[in-house]
């Protein structure tokens, strides 16, 4: 029996990204075993595991009941309140070394694709170009070192890849332990 998971505009394939996996586990919100469980971040003052089914994430019931958010609003500048709430309260987050943050493009939240290395990034030259520009702004002035770092992404450091929900361009940020 195949079950179709809810559609998450800003995290289209949470199974591929590893944020939701198939498991016989009871949802901390609806207290039912729906066969799928959320495994990534949930920030709440309440003492709750954050192990929710995808449906309680999608309809906002988990975030509302436990007054929490799946992702920090840090970085989500210039988007409408509706988009901000959809990403923080009704979209699965993801695991990262650093506190995860969401990228914005074309004044809308981007869709999270997943954690990638250099090989995957080369398929999206615009994401690599944007990473280079961001890193130069961050003080990487030695081009050889910068390229060395980028080509080793996927080892000690990785990239979090997003796709713009408006223009379709890919963008990324670097995550490291
Ligand atoms: Zn549930
Ligand atoms: Zn865009």
- Global pTM reads 0.93
Rounded to an integer, what distance in angstroms lies between the CA atom of residue 36 and that of residue 57?
12
Rounded to an integer, what distance in angstroms lies between the CA atom of residue 151 and that of residue 166?
28
Tokens of 82: 């509706």
pLDDT digits (tens, 9 = 90+) for 16-42: 999 999 999 999 999 999 999 999 999
Q: In 10 A of CB 72, how many CB atoms?
A: 15
pLDDT digits (tens, 9 = 90+) for 69-100: 999 998 899 999 999 999 999 999 999 988 88
Q: Which ligand is nearest to the CA of 130?
A: 2
Q: What are the two backbone dihedrals, phi and then psi, of residue 129, each rounded to the nearest 5 degrees?
A: -65, -40
> Do 155 and 145 touch, CB atoms closer than 8 A?
no
pLDDT of residue 75: 86
User: Does residue 3 surpass a pLDDT of 80?
Assistant: no
Instruction: Determine the distance separating the centroid of ligand 1 and the alpha carbon of 117, expressed in angstroms.
Output: 33
């Amino acid at each position: 029996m195949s079950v179709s998971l809810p559609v998450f505009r800003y995290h289209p394939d949470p199974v591929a990204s590893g944020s939701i996996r198939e498991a016989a586990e009871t949802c901390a919100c609806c207290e039912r075993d729906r066969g799928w469980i959320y495994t990534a971040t949930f920030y709440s003052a309440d003492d709750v595991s954050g192990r929710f089914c995808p449906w309680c994430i999608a309809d906002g019931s988990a975030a509302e009941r436990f007054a929490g958010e799946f992702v920090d609003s840090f970085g989500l500048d210039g988007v409408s309140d509706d988009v901000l709430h959809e990403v923080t309260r009704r979209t699965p987050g993801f695991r990262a070394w650093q506190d995860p943050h969401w990228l914005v493009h074309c004044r809308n939240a981007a869709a999270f694709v997943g954690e990638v290395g250099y090989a995957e990034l080369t398929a999206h030259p615009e994401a690599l170009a944007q990473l280079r520009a961001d890193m130069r702004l961050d003080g990487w002035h030695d081009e050889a070192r910068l390229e060395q770092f980028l080509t080793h992404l996927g080892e000690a450091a990785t990239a979090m890849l997003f796709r713009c929900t408006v223009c379709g361009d890919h963008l990324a940020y670097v995550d490291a332990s």
